[in-house]
Amino acid sequence: MKYLVNAREMQRCDRITIEEYGVPGLVLMERAALAVADSVMDGEFCTDKVLAVCGSGNNGGDGFAAARILMERNVEIAVLFVGKEESMSEAARIQKKICENYGMNFVSNIDVHEYTCIVDAIFGVGLSRKVAGEYRTLIEQINQASGKVIAVDIPSGISADSGRVMGAAVCADRTVTFGFAKLGQVLYPGALYCGETVVWDIGITEKSFRGELPRAYYLGREDMRCLPRRMRYSNKGTYGKALLVAGQKNMCGAAYLAGEAAYRVGTGLVKIFTEECNRVIVQERLPEALLSTYEVLEEENSFRWPTAAGIGPGFGTGEGKWEILCLFLERCVCPLVLDADALNLLSGRTEKLRERRAPVVVTPHVGEMERLMGIPKKTILEDLPGTCRRFAEEYGVICVLKDTRTVISDGREICVNLTGTDGMATGGSGDVLTGILTGLLAQGMEPFAAAKLAVWIHGSAGELASKRLGRRGMLAGDLLKEIPTVLLEGENA
């Protein structure tokens, strides 16, 4: 797990490192500048003629210092200062003065075809409002330049909190960021503007959070260590019973995909509840699964049998479906995953969620969230983490808000998933996630941990499938075959 910080958290971290631990700000700045200079010179960029565009804050200070280091290394470098002298930060003023003392080449405009590489140090995490005027013009010129662009800390104009473009933003080929990755670098559209992001250690550690830890983070392969344990002395009963309430007429694939995914993450037994007409096809595709049909759901055993249930993929919203969903909410004591049509059924009557007896994980995509919360898609997309966290908090559930960057929250923490590919934007992907998640819950994982890991595994399976088949040709069913490989690699992590 690695932290994702917002601007306030990063600035607090900088301040504590400087004021409470006593590391001089200019030392941090020198290390930041060395990181930028090393990155410019690592061979990926043409350094025939480099331009550093520096603002008046400490981000500009990093830029001046990096320019000076590049000059020391005999790179032909020009410096462009943008901003007001009178509002310069103390460190930026010192760094600019050093550049002047060395007689470095200061220019006042950009010839877009002159430079082979541009260092963007206009704004960093201190961006406080929309970009306009000469700053905007400059950013547009940088974006037209033929040379590659390296952003210092974050592309100028991108909000470190949300990834939003604040009027205009530099589109970088690489972003060299310091200490911790910023939320705005992983959320869209910010992620598109960062290019490749490199997190550089400049001497700011987690100690500088001083107990006030950031809310947001992302998982890495090492987090696979919390997968349910396998034991030599065990049987299928040891690894849980997953029930998938899924599929209606003409929608049997959802039941199959979710069912197989549950098995593929190690569940002992999987049962599929579906429409009678799906019986033959589901049993042919997945003979390992037990099968029952909606007609027998009233039996009390239906609710006692599973150790986790996933309800909704291809379930439909027609006659009798709301009643089935209500029965599960009212009677089931095992964790429930509510997806797709279960969420559509809940739209406009989300209060029903409060009548549940068991822990609930909801897995809406943005369209489903729009219907669930009754707020426009645009508003949700502007703040995926906040929307996800608020829903989870309000209903006391775990919320998995699915998008290019799926966000998972328990109402307090926010996990942003960084695995996955656009090849997963294909019918049935969500059903596979429901199966993975239900399977992990069935094996006894705690719901928040299961939700985070399920999304990570799902995205990793997508990456493997897209490597094997390409992002265009892969199908949701191809994710199933990759799940075992993801788990195997995780075991060795």
Ligand X SMILES: NC(=O)C1=CN([C@@H]2O[C@H](COP(=O)(O)OP(=O)(O)OC[C@H]3O[C@@H](n4cnc5c(N)ncnc54)[C@H](OP(=O)(O)O)[C@@H]3O)[C@@H](O)[C@H]2O)[C@@H](O)CC1
According to CB under 6 A, which one of 46, 87, 250, 488 is a site residue for ligand X?
87
Q: Least separation, in Å, of the C-beta of 121 and K ion?
A: 5
Query: How far apart are the C-alpha atoms of 176 and 165, rounded to whole Å?
Result: 18
Beta-strand runs (E) in 173-214: 174-178, 181-182, 196-200
Nearer to K ion, 139 or 151 (CB): 151
Q: Least separation, in Å, of the C-beta of 161 and ligand X?
A: 13
Query: How far apart are the C-alpha atoms of 287 and 99, rounded to whole Å?
Result: 72
Query: How far apart are the C-alpha atoms of 226 and 285, rounded to whole Å?
Result: 30
Query: How far apart are the C-alpha atoms of 453 and 458, rounded to whole Å?
Result: 8
Q: What CA–CA distances, in Å, run from 173 to 51, 152, 263?
A: 15, 11, 41
The interface partner of residue 89, options being K ion, ligand X, none and the CB cut-off 5 to 8 Å by kind, is: ligand X
Q: Least separation, in Å, of the C-beta of 125 and K ion?
A: 9
The interface region with ligand X, picked from 59-67, 307-315, 427-435, 461-469 by CB under 6 A, is: 59-67
Contact mark string toward ligand X, 363..402, x via CB under 6 A: ----------------------------------------
CA 341 distance to own-chain centroid: 24
Q: What CA–CA distances, in Å, run from 305 to 241, 242, 253, 409, 434?
A: 7, 9, 23, 28, 19
Q: Least separation, in Å, of the C-beta of 27 and ligand X?
A: 9
- Closest by Cα among 234, 231, 67, 276 to 152: 67
- Is position 129 an interface residue for ligand X (rule: CB under 6 A)? yes
The interface partner of residue 346, options being K ion, ligand X, none and the CB cut-off 5 to 8 Å by kind, is: none
Q: Least separation, in Å, of the C-beta of 168 and ligand X?
A: 10
Name the pairing type of β-strands 308-311 and 336-338: parallel
Q: What CA–CA distances, in Å, run from 157 to 122, 137, 477?
A: 9, 12, 40
- Is position 59 an interface residue for ligand X (rule: CB under 6 A)? yes
- Is position 89 an interface residue for ligand X (rule: CB under 6 A)? yes
Nearer to K ion, 152 or 346 (CB): 152
The interface partner of residue 391, options being ligand X, K ion, none and the CB cut-off 5 to 8 Å by kind, is: none
- Is position 156 an interface residue for K ion (rule: CB under 5 A)? yes
- Is position 62 an interface residue for ligand X (rule: CB under 6 A)? yes
Q: Least separation, in Å, of the C-beta of 212 and ligand X?
A: 17
The residue length of the chain stands at 493
- Closest by Cα among 64, 492, 6 to 216: 6
The interface region with K ion, picked from 150-158, 276-284, 313-321, 429-437 by CB under 5 A, is: 150-158
Nearer to ligand X, 124 or 335 (CB): 124
Near ligand X in 167-196, by CB under 6 A: 178
- Is position 123 an interface residue for ligand X (rule: CB under 6 A)? yes
Residue carrying structure tokens 């990181």:
35
Task: State the burial class of residue 442 (Cβ atoms within 10 Å of its Cβ: 0-12, 13-18, 19+).
Answer: buried
Do the beta carbons of residue 62 and residue 34 sit within 8 Å?
no
Do the beta carbons of residue 11 and residue 125 sit within 8 Å?
yes
Near K ion in 82-111, by CB under 5 A: none
Alpha helices in 229-271 (DSSP H): 252-264
Nearer to K ion, 156 or 438 (CB): 156
Q: Least separation, in Å, of the C-beta of 41 and K ion?
A: 19
- Is position 57 an interface residue for ligand X (rule: CB under 6 A)? yes
Q: What CA–CA distances, in Å, run from 341 to 88, 297, 312, 446?
A: 55, 18, 5, 24
The interface partner of residue 260, options being ligand X, K ion, none and the CB cut-off 5 to 8 Å by kind, is: none
Residues contacting ligand X: total by CB under 6 A: 30
CA 189 distance to own-chain centroid: 12
The interface region with K ion, picked from 116-124, 288-296, 333-341, 395-403 by CB under 5 A, is: 116-124
Nearer to K ion, 9 or 120 (CB): 120
Do the beta carbons of residue 50 and residue 78 sit within 8 Å?
yes
Do the beta carbons of residue 183 and residue 162 sit within 8 Å?
yes
Side chain identity, residue 422: D
According to CB under 5 A, which one of 152, 286, 432, 437 is a site residue for K ion?
152
Nearer to ligand X, 131 or 450 (CB): 131
User: Which positions ≥6 away from 30 have C-beta within 8 Å?
Assistant: 65
Contact mark string toward ligand X, 17..36, x via CB under 6 A: -x------x--xx--x----
The interface partner of residue 131, options being K ion, ligand X, none and the CB cut-off 5 to 8 Å by kind, is: ligand X
According to CB under 6 A, which one of 76, 116, 126, 373 is a site residue for ligand X?
126
- Is position 64 an interface residue for ligand X (rule: CB under 6 A)? no
Structure tokens at 361: 């994980």
Structure tokens at 124: 């960093």
Helices (H) and strands (E) in the chain, counts: 18, 19
Nearer to K ion, 58 or 460 (CB): 58
- DSSP 8-class letter at 17: I
Nearer to ligand X, 200 or 322 (CB): 200
Chain positions contacting ligand X, by CB under 6 A? 11, 14, 18, 25, 28-29, 32, 55-60, 62, 83, 87, 89, 123-131, 135, 152-153, 178
Chain positions contacting K ion, by CB under 5 A? 120, 151-152, 156
